[in-house]
Amino acid sequence: MSVTRAGHVSALLNDGRLLVAGGWDYTSNLTSAEIYNPDTDSWSDAGNMSSEHYTAQAVTLQDGKVLVISGFTGAFNTETCDLFDPQTATWSSGGFLAYGRSSFTATLLQDGRVLVAGGFNGSENLKYCEIYDPASNSWSLTDSLETGRSYHTSSLLPDGRVLVVGGFNPDAGFQLASSELFDPQTNTWSEAASLTIGRDYHAASVLNNGKVMVTGGRNFNGSNNFAYNGLTEVEIYDPASNSWVFDEFLPSGLSYHKQVTIGTGSVLVIAGIDSSNFSNKGGFTTTAGVSYLYDPETGEWSDAGMNQDSRYEMTADVLSSGEAIVTGGVNASVEIYDLPLSVEPKSTFNAMEVFPNPANMFVQIKLNQSSELVHCQLLDVSGRTIESAVSRSADGLYTVHAKHGFFGMAIIRAVSAEGEMFNAPVLFKNQ
């Protein structure tokens, strides 16, 4: 990148490029933005936002624009949101939150709206939640969390609900174990099962089976100097049973790390802080050279062999090629991790067959049994919803069209009338 960035945001554009914006360079908070083009392996200027955005959030909307939300300016948590149009390479207003905040989450809902939950406003950990409507370019308050929190995670479940997990609130026990579920049909929150171990600064991703994996984070250990334990514990949430179970632990404790799902379901965990050394007296130690890869077939972690630079407060995304890209975090460097992909033109997954058609922007699904789909969703390899249209022929063949010119790796996620969930990787080529 052209400048050092930490606590910045990134968003994958529909044409395969990556937008990076805001953050701070260890001197001041930034309004600048730049775009990475993987075809040319080069960066270009993307103009300036109207406000600084540090520890903010960015969401790629269904129309391809990118919404950069709130964050810290260096003096206060701004209510300002900025909207980037990749077609014109220009910035405009994305409306204003009722409550400026940092260290919150933002989730693109299946209907195209954006849910903002929690965060810190400089004096309290917020329970207030807000929803962005792209049709009106405006924000409105919605139902509040039961417990205010910051440094938590949010994950979009296959059924469209949003799972918020853990976080920080000193008035509720420091690191939170509680989880909450948002239903976009009713715009209400409900209690979900709690983690076994409370944590903040953790990471979460949705697995191809629809479950949510949470890794690492900090947990207050009760010592007088407020030292924190770097967690190795991994927990997995099952939406069907509303329950958590432990999974294979990380090889070492991490927090402030990033986590993405790549390939056909592997989970890549990247760098962060060895928070066994984290203390409000002793500072912290960034962890160089640490990255781990989780194999869902074996349930085991292995060394991923990347990450040459120490970094935290970086971003991690998955390019349309299937490669993971990590930007910034205490420096301006960028690293790309390539997991070899193998996608057959026709694959059988349980009781479903998927037929990609790379010459066109669609795939076709044929159930091997006499059944119907009650849910069908197209996701990119980061787990974000790709706008799509689904049609069914008289002979039971489902056709899923990707909109807005999407190309690259994707995941078809479908649920049959019998309640069976199917996941299949597909590859759209840019013709």
- Encode 114-177 in three state secondary structure: EEEECCECCCCECCCEEEEECCCCEEEEECCCCCCCECCEEEECCCCCEEEECCEEHHHCEECC
Q: Is residue 1 part of a domain?
A: no
- 94-105 in b/e form (b: 16+ CB < 10 A) is bbebebbbbbbb
Residue 205 shares a structural domain with residue 133:
yes
Percent of the chain having pLDDT more than 90? 54
Q: Is residue 29 part of a domain?
A: yes
β partners of residue 245: 236
Residue 279 shares a structural domain with residue 376:
no
Q: Is residue 378 part of a domain?
A: yes
Pair 36, 334: CB distance under 8 Å: yes
pLDDT in tens, 147-160: 999 999 999 998 89
Top-confidence residue, 28 or 421: 28
Instruction: Return the H-helix or E-strand segment holding 242.
Output: none
- SS3 of 345, please? coil
| Listed residues 314, 337, 360: the one ending a domain | 337
Residue 279 has a pLDDT of 42
**What CATH number is given to the structural domain containing 367?**
2.60.40.10
Residue 296 shares a structural domain with residue 359:
no
14 confidence band (pLDDT: 50, 70, 90) = confident
| Listed residues 306, 337, 368: the one ending a domain | 337
Mean pLDDT score of the chain, rounded to an integer?
83
Residue 115 shares a structural domain with residue 188:
yes
Q: Is residue 4 part of a domain?
A: no
Q: Is residue 2 part of a domain?
A: no
DSSP 255: B
Residue 275 shares a structural domain with residue 388:
no
Residue 286 shares a structural domain with residue 226:
yes
Residue 409 shares a structural domain with residue 361:
yes
* Structural domain total, the chain: 2
Q: Is the pLDDT of residue 330 over 80?
A: no
Residue 358 has a pLDDT of 45
Q: Is the pLDDT of residue 418 over 80?
A: no
pTM here is: 0.81
Q: Is residue 25 part of a domain?
A: yes
Residue 176 has a pLDDT of 96
Residue 141 shares a structural domain with residue 197:
yes
Q: Is residue 75 part of a domain?
A: yes
Residue 94 shares a structural domain with residue 41:
yes
Pair 421, 413: CB distance under 8 Å: yes
**What CATH number is given to the structural domain containing 112?**
2.120.10.80
220 confidence band (pLDDT: 50, 70, 90) = confident
Averaged pLDDT, 299-319: 82
Residue 170 shares a structural domain with residue 66:
yes
| Residues of the domain holding 315 | 9-337
Residue 96 has a pLDDT of 98
343 confidence band (pLDDT: 50, 70, 90) = very low
Instruction: Tell me how far apart the alpha carbons of residues 76 and 180 are, in angstroms, rounded to a whole number.
Output: 28
Instruction: Tell me how far apart the alpha carbons of residues 18 and 37 are, in angstroms, rounded to a whole number.
Output: 7
Residue 393 shares a structural domain with residue 251:
no
Which residues, at least 6 apart from 316, have a Cβ–Cβ distance to it below 8 Å? 258, 259, 260, 268, 270, 324, 325, 326
Highest mean pLDDT among 66-70, 336-340, 415-419: 66-70
Q: Is the pLDDT of residue 346 over 50?
A: no
Residue 339 has a pLDDT of 61
Top-confidence residue, 358 or 62: 62
44 confidence band (pLDDT: 50, 70, 90) = very high
| Listed residues 284, 306, 337: the one ending a domain | 337
Q: Is residue 394 part of a domain?
A: yes
Q: β-strand 243-247 against 258-262: which pairing, if any?
A: unpaired
Residue 379 shares a structural domain with residue 323:
no
